[in-house]
Amino acid sequence: MHFGPHLLLAALEGLVTSAVLALTALGLSLVFGVMRVVNVAHGEFFMLGAVLAWAISTAISGHPSLGFLAALVLAPLIVGLIALVAERLVLRRLNYNPEATIVATIGMLYIIQQLALTFYGPEARPVEPPFSYRILLPWFGYSGYKLSIIAASALLLVATWFVLTRTKIGLVMRATQYDSETAQAFGIPVDRVYAGVFALGAMLAAVAAVLIVPISQAHYLMGQDPLLLSFIVVIIGGLGSLRGTVVAAVLIGLSDGIISVFFSPTLAKIIATLLVAMVLVFRPQGLFGTASR
Amino acid sequence: MKEVSPAKAYALHLGVIALLFALSFVLPEYHHGLLARIMVLAVFAMGYNMLFGYVGLLSLGHAMFFSAGLYGAGLAVIHLGWSVPAAFAAGLACGALLALIIGVLALRTSGVAFMIVTMMFAQVFYLIILYFASWTGGDQGLVVPQSARVLVLGSTSLGLTNPTVRYMSALALFSIVLLVTLAVVRSRYGRVLVAIRENEERTKMLGYDTFSNKLAAVVVSGTICAASGAAYALLFGYVGSTFASVQYSILPLLWVLLGGAATTLGPLIGTLFMYYVVDITSGYTSAYLLIVGIALILLVLFFPKGILGTIRQRWLGWLP
């Protein structure tokens, strides 16, 4: 293959990564933006989504698309419920203290990971894609399913944007993010908003995982890379900024796809992580964000 | 903070050291070996406590300081054939230098950003170890040869693989670090650190240069952690990338939280307790991370002051 098509392939792979990353990072960003909680267990909600997708799709016989659609609806709901319980039982009792919640979510990370290992096992298991149509480009054939991931993610992002900016729920969320005390004084049930946002953040990660699992595989350690990458995206994009998150996800996803085609993935990770740490040190509001309040 | 009577505090610490010394002669072999390891890891926790407990800076990257000492000492022996004291010094130097660099950068941030930045630097350090696998052994790690782990003192040479020598070396390191920590936290400097933890703005207003005080604390903390890592490499003869992973940044946090942050003996108690809990439960189940996770959540929910912190608050106000 020549350089041009090779680059196109790398870019397409990068776009798929970006699509999934944007959803996952958006969940992390919402939780941090509204609740000021750094959710270290976010990657584990992602993993749970993938593992549940496997469990649901193998439980349902018939055409693979049936099982996949069931997983796409049920897995995020279950993950959201788990997150809701965790929020009520732990985070709320900590009064959302930033440092205590980090320690607590680290605890959740270990618990979820270990339970997944115990009940799901150490194997990586595939989920059959709902359809296997190949789009033939002049240079190579490309999986139609992968392109549909990009479309689905774009759709979900637009929907989230619509909810955040054009509906009452979004208004309530933004008010809580802007000033939770004043919001409370105006009769907004801040407590319930927090619970809802935490569940929503986990559900976004779970949806992303269900979308990606037919082309990667479900494994109990698969939450680690999305967590780190989401941190990177959220930091570069500026906290709580939806547009920044999407732009940064595309940037990181594309460069990750292209760099790891041409360089060693470990070296790519070293450079990316170091760069992001430096951004956080020298420009804490992110590259696109405005100064934090 | 109540006024601490110096004699009482020093008597207690010397008593703990004497007890550990006496235990060397009565413990069965298995627990003897375990306690030596716990003392070395308690030094790691004490280094962490220096920053987390006294300055209130929560780092999620201390595994890099531990493994800087571990690899600094281990690689000096393996690749350069250095003697034990020289290798130990190399480990300390690596840790101190790394802590200085990381401190200058990471201390520009605070709060949550500080946690994430330290975690990312530690991740970079971990990946670098994996990347240079031909030197560091990568995932597999390296074994420090037994023949090189000999401490030559004048005409006598002590093999660090001998259980008694190993225990006494671990105890010596532990005692030195414990007494140094006690002296530091009781000093003027230690009080400035606590003042920074309680109210950084006010400390600044009182005329203290908080940045350089914090930087010094990062360097002291990093060097103590590196000492623990270097001792681990030389006493137990294994150098591996697991020790640089995120998990080993979380463990000292857990040990300190459990034992009691900002108490001098808390790190020992936390490490001892957690190590035995994991050791006993791993006899029944491999799911020891589950225990770690549950312990973390229960601690922050119900025991944010840890064992010694609670004892100090309820009964013994003079505990340092």
Q: Which residue of chain A is at minimal alpha-carbon distance from B128? A: A270
* pLDDT of B310 strictly over 80: yes
Token code pair at residue B190: 């230690």
Residue B108 with chain A: CB contacts under 8 Å: 281-282
Distance from CA of A121 to the nearest CA of B (A): 12
Rounded to 5°, the CA angle A192-A198-A203 comes to 125
In a domain, B266, yes or no: no
Q: Which residue of chain B is at minimal alpha-carbon distance from A268? A: B127
pLDDT tens digits along A2-54: 778 888 888 888 899 999 999 999 999 999 888 888 898 999 999 999 999 99
Mean pLDDT of chain A: 87
pLDDT bucket at A292, cuts 50 / 70 / 90: very low
B104 in reach of chain A (CB within 8 A): no
* pLDDT of A240 strictly over 70: no
In a domain, B15, yes or no: yes
The amino acid at residue A232 is I
- Would you call B294 and A111 a contact, using CB atoms and an 8 Å cutoff? yes
> Which residue in B117, B250, B287 is closest to A114 by CB distance?
B287
Mean pLDDT of chain B: 90
A214: Cα within 13 Å, side-chain hemisphere = 24
B133 in reach of chain A (CB within 8 A): no
pLDDT tens digits along B59-83: 999 999 999 999 999 999 999 989 9
Question: Across residues B113-119, what is the average pLDDT?
Answer: 88
Residues B250, B54, B21, B92, Cα dihedral to 10° = 70
Q: Which pLDDT score, from 0 to 100, does residue A293 have?
A: 42
In a domain, B272, yes or no: no
In a domain, B253, yes or no: no
In a domain, B285, yes or no: no
Question: Across residues A127-131, what is the average pLDDT?
Answer: 86
More confident residue, B151 or B57: B57
Least confident of A8-17, B221-230, B274-283: B274-283
Q: Which pLDDT score, from 0 to 100, does residue A288 have?
A: 61
Least confident of A37-51, A122-136, A153-167: A122-136
Residue with tokens 């996952």: A24
Residue A159 contacts by C-beta under 8 Å, 6 or more apart in sequence?
none
Residue B106 with chain A: CB contacts under 8 Å: 281
Residue B306 with chain A: CB contacts under 8 Å: none
Q: How many domains are contained in chain B?
A: 1
- Would you call A107 and B295 a contact, using CB atoms and an 8 Å cutoff? yes
- Would you call A38 and B115 a contact, using CB atoms and an 8 Å cutoff? yes
B58 in reach of chain A (CB within 8 A): yes
Instruction: Enter the ipTM.
Output: 0.83
- Would you call B116 and A235 a contact, using CB atoms and an 8 Å cutoff? yes
Residue A270 with chain B: CB contacts under 8 Å: 124, 127-128, 131
In a domain, B256, yes or no: no
pLDDT bucket at A239, cuts 50 / 70 / 90: low
- Would you call A280 and B116 a contact, using CB atoms and an 8 Å cutoff? yes
* Among B98, B102, B118, B127, the residue to mutate for chain A (most A Cβ within 10 A): B127
* pLDDT of B1 strictly over 50: no
- Would you call B299 and A103 a contact, using CB atoms and an 8 Å cutoff? yes
Residue A281 with chain B: CB contacts under 8 Å: 105-106, 108-109, 117
Residue A107 with chain B: CB contacts under 8 Å: 292-297, 300
Question: How far does chain B reach from its first CA to its final CA, in angstroms?
Answer: 10
More confident residue, A203 or A273: A203
Domains and CATH numbers, chain A: 3-282 (1.10.3470)
Distance from CA of A67 to the nearest CA of B (A): 31
In a domain, B269, yes or no: no
* pLDDT of A291 strictly over 60: no
- Would you call B106 and A104 a contact, using CB atoms and an 8 Å cutoff? no
Range of the domain at B127: 6-244
B313 in reach of chain A (CB within 8 A): no
In a domain, B92, yes or no: yes
Question: Across residues B160-187, what is the average pLDDT?
Answer: 92
Q: Which pLDDT score, from 0 to 100, does residue B217 have?
A: 96
